[in-house]
Amino acid sequence: MNSAAPAPGEMLSETPDGEQIQQLLQFLTAAGTLTLPQPINGLFAAAAASGDDFAASGYSNAWVRDNVHVAHAQLVAGNLQYAITIQQRLSEFFHRHRQRFLNVIAEPARAADPMQRPHIRFNPVTLDELPETWAHAQNDALGAFLWISCLLVRAGHTPITPRIREVILLLLQYWEAIDVWEDEDSGHWEEQRKVAASSIGCVLAGLSKLQQLLQNSSLAAALNFRPPDLQRLHTLQQNCHAALLQILPWECRQSDPTKQRRYDAALLFLIYPLNIIQDRSHEDQIIADVCEHLQGPHGIRRYPGDSYWCADYRQLLSADQRTADFSDDLSARDQLLQPGGEAQWCLFDPVLSCIHGRRYRESGAAADRRLQLLHLGRSLQQLSPPGGRVPAYRCPESWFCEQGVWQPNDLTPLLWTQQNLLQALHLLQETTAAVL
């Protein structure tokens, strides 16, 4: 990065005080780092870039998963209305297209075709589904939606409407129909379908939040679950919990070498924000795996052998090919990957900062504080530099190598990265205030 330009990653000392944090926040605010783009019908596109290449990327569409993470970050930051509106619009989208759920419930074999499953990427303006083929088999996104919905309802921020009640019941019946605890889906990265711990964990997080909601008598009365619904919820929880324990700390233990995966940074989301892993040793192992096997100098790889935005990606693929649906066959794209050429993503360091910040808040241990600050510092160093192809001090999707030079990829700013950084900064303020 340009050493003459302000360096946000160097603005905090090893023991930052409130004044340093305020100076950092003022810098990021002035730079536009944390500025949300204008919502589209209450929802957000995945990224806020511009230009012909971006238009071809499809990142101007809305993703269920990305919007859930924006909603949670805004909830953490105290911007409640953003979170409520996002949840309501996602509920409206699923309810409008509820026939997707009903068709699979009636005929589970339909789930073999991802296009017949509930869609997780759509037009945010009209809430219409998109016609192009996409890897819509994403139980993680559906689980995250249930999780944020129950979180908002349980906190009293949004009511149980007939619409959300119907969508929740459809989710339970749908997951039962596809045996979600052993269902192969495309997961967070929308690639080859496999039985993934990160997806099962998201479903379990949603189910667990729903179970907590039912412990409130007035909310339980509003949901008005029948005994079969309660039994379905109980069985789904049991089966997902058992399946998760059998897989962790792996992402996938299937024998097929094209599906089996030991390391995947998506498992971090089960620790934060979902907080669904009950065994601290599993949490520790996942964190150690990510830091030892996936962490690089510019960010964190999604998984070993990831060819998305690999080295020289812009020269190897046209703009419309770069974000195409590769879920049926990754082999052609994987042939482009050179050893060590995986993109290094910016999503994960702020999540690790949040994990260690939360631990520090509970333990007061100096080691947790050090790691909270370490990963926040890495997050700030990953902001786009001045003088590059994208505006300065934005939150990239990832850094990739082009002709030997590492730089942010075209999908900058990515709102998911931005909102993760927002949460890490919020937790820094909170834990620093507690110390002071």
CATH of the domain at 60: 1.50.10.10
Band of the pLDDT at 2, cuts 50, 70, 90? very low
Predicted confidence (pLDDT) at residue 289 exceeds the cutoff of 60: yes
The answer on 42 and 25 residing in a single domain is no
The answer on 357 and 304 residing in a single domain is yes
Burial readout 405-432 (b: 16 or more C-beta within 10 A, e: otherwise):
eebbbbbbbbbbbbbbbbbbbbbbeebb
Q: Which of 241, 264, 287 is a domain's end point?
A: 264
pLDDT (0 to 100) of residue 3: 46
Predicted confidence (pLDDT) at residue 434 exceeds the cutoff of 80: no
pLDDT (0 to 100) of residue 335: 93
The answer on 110 and 60 residing in a single domain is yes
What residue numbers bound the domain in which 395 lies?
Answer: 1-31+295-436
The answer on 90 and 24 residing in a single domain is no
Within the chain, how many helices (H) and strands (E) appear? 18, 5
Predicted confidence (pLDDT) at residue 435 exceeds the cutoff of 70: no
Predicted confidence (pLDDT) at residue 63 exceeds the cutoff of 60: yes
The answer on 371 and 225 residing in a single domain is no
pLDDT (0 to 100) of residue 57: 86
**Residue 78 maps to a domain:** yes
Band of the pLDDT at 5, cuts 50, 70, 90? very low
The answer on 106 and 8 residing in a single domain is no
**Residue 269 maps to a domain:** no
What pLDDT, in 10s, does the model give residues 67-94?
Answer: 999 999 999 999 999 999 999 999 999 9
The answer on 355 and 229 residing in a single domain is no
- Those residues with Cβ within 8 angstroms of residue 194's Cβ, 6 or more apart along the chain or in another chain: 184, 185, 187, 252, 254, 256, 259, 260, 261
Q: How far is CA 154 from CA 76, 157, 213, 214, 227, in A?
A: 15, 8, 6, 9, 21
Share of the chain above pLDDT 90, in %: 89
Share of the chain above pLDDT 70, in %: 98
What pLDDT, in 10s, does the model give residues 407-431?
Answer: 999 999 999 999 999 999 999 999 9
**Residue 286 maps to a domain:** no
**Residue 273 maps to a domain:** no
**Residue 317 maps to a domain:** yes
The answer on 310 and 218 residing in a single domain is no
The answer on 55 and 23 residing in a single domain is no
The answer on 436 and 313 residing in a single domain is yes
pLDDT (0 to 100) of residue 14: 87
**Residue 284 maps to a domain:** no
The answer on 300 and 223 residing in a single domain is no
The answer on 239 and 176 residing in a single domain is yes
Q: Which of 264, 287, 318 is a domain's end point?
A: 264
Total domains, the chain = 2
What pLDDT, in 10s, does the model give residues 23-59?
Answer: 999 999 999 999 999 999 999 999 998 777 787 888 9
As a whole number, the mean pLDDT across the chain is 95
